[in-house]
Structure 1
Amino acid sequence: MRAVRKWFKDSPAAQTVLGFVLFAAVILSLNWGHTPGWWLVKLGLYIAISVAFAARRRRRDAEAAGTDTATLKSLERRIQRGTVPEDPQERAAMRRLVLHRLDLMSRTRWSVPAFSVMLALVAVLAAVTGDWAVAAVFLAISAVVTGAMVWIRRRAARKLHHLDDVLGRDELALRH
């Protein structure tokens, strides 16, 4: 099981395959009346858009850290584990990456509430049309997804703030 988890963490191809399967399940559940060819076209479009966004984010993170994508992958692993590199150049790149991500999180505070409101609106629209079962399901889904998103965001912010403190102290210790 560990090998599979590591494969999914380290391989964009594995993440794309998982995204393909998840998107396929969602598209199949929402579009029963269409042919499988139509499902595949929609699925390919959604996957292409997702991969483009992920590649753009990775490029921006690499630019913010002042490093290449291979070093960025190493820094991301270190951020997940909460470890600080020994090399001063890697430490500086990690500090820039942590500050970039904290800045991004502070600028996108509105995203979780906005997404939650959109999910809740689907439930409200279903209730207005009289489909109470769908409304209840979407309300439950929106509560679970919102809770998960808040938890993930707080956990990431805590980890990034901790690394910011540690990297900042190391930087100050090197100056004196």
Structure 2
Amino acid sequence: MSALKRRLDSSLTAQAVLAFLMALAITALFARPDEHPASWLLRSALYTGIGVVFIVVQRRRIGRATGADPRRLADLNRKIRHREVPSDPEERAVMRRLVAEHLRRMERGGRWLPYSLGLMGLLAVGLLVVGAVTGSLSLPVFTVLLIGICCWTLWMRRRTLDRCRHMQSALREQDERVS
């Protein structure tokens, strides 16, 4: 299991295959009964392609900001998750830039978070009302999924901020010890 997690963490191809399979399952789940399965494949490939483009652009931006390649970034992100401070001074410098970049992105995204969560909340209420009026059972399911996504987003944001702040202070303490 650890090898699979490491492969998914570092390999864009593995991430793309997993995303394609998930998109295919979701597309098949919500497809019309008269729809041909080839359209599922095409839409899933399109969704996966769009997602991979976003991931590649994000990796390049972070790579340019930190001066590290994607494989090294994956290893440093794993160290952030496991709260491991690198012993190499060069690696600590890259880690410091990576943590600063993560915190900067989280701060910038945090400005829009209330608006996006409010919009998702309005969408959830609207779906619930439309589902109650039409008697549809799928719309309340979408509402529950939307609320779950909102809660998961807030939880992951808090968790990532805690990890990055912890790593920032641990790097600062490590640098003070070395000096």
Q: Which residue in the other structure is 1:72 paired with?
A: 73
Counterpart Cα distance in 1 of 2:31 and 2:122: 21
How far residue 99 of structure 1 moved from its aligned partner, in angstroms, is 0.3
Q: Which residue in the other structure is 1:167 paired with?
A: 171
Letter in 1 for 2:12: P
The gaps in structure 2 that reach 5 residues or longer are none
1:58-103 deviation per Cα after TM superposition (whole angstroms, max 9, x unaligned) = 1111111122223222212211211111111110010001000000
Identity %: 31
Counterpart Cα distance in 1 of 2:75 and 2:84: 11
Aligned residues: 175
Counterpart secondary structure, 2:68: coil
Residue 57 in structure 1 maps to residue 61 in structure 2: no
Contact 1:64–1:100 at 8 Å: present in 2 too? yes
Residue 18 in structure 1 maps to residue 18 in structure 2: yes
Please tell me the root mean square deviation across aligned C-alpha atoms, in Å. 2.2
1:109-145 deviation per Cα after TM superposition (whole angstroms, max 9, x unaligned) = 1247515633651551462362342342222212222
Matches within 5 A, 1:1-176: 1-32=1-32, 33-109=34-110, 110-111=112-113, 114=116, 117-118=119-120, 120-121=122-123, 123-125=125-127, 127-128=129-130, 130-132=133-135, 133-175=137-179
How far residue 31 of structure 1 moved from its aligned partner, in angstroms, is 2.4
Cα gap change, 1:13 to 1:106, in 2 (>3 Å) = same
Counterpart Cα distance in 2 of 1:20 and 1:112: 30
The gaps in structure 1 that reach 5 residues or longer are none
Counterpart Cα distance in 2 of 1:166 and 1:151: 22
Letter in 2 for 1:52: V
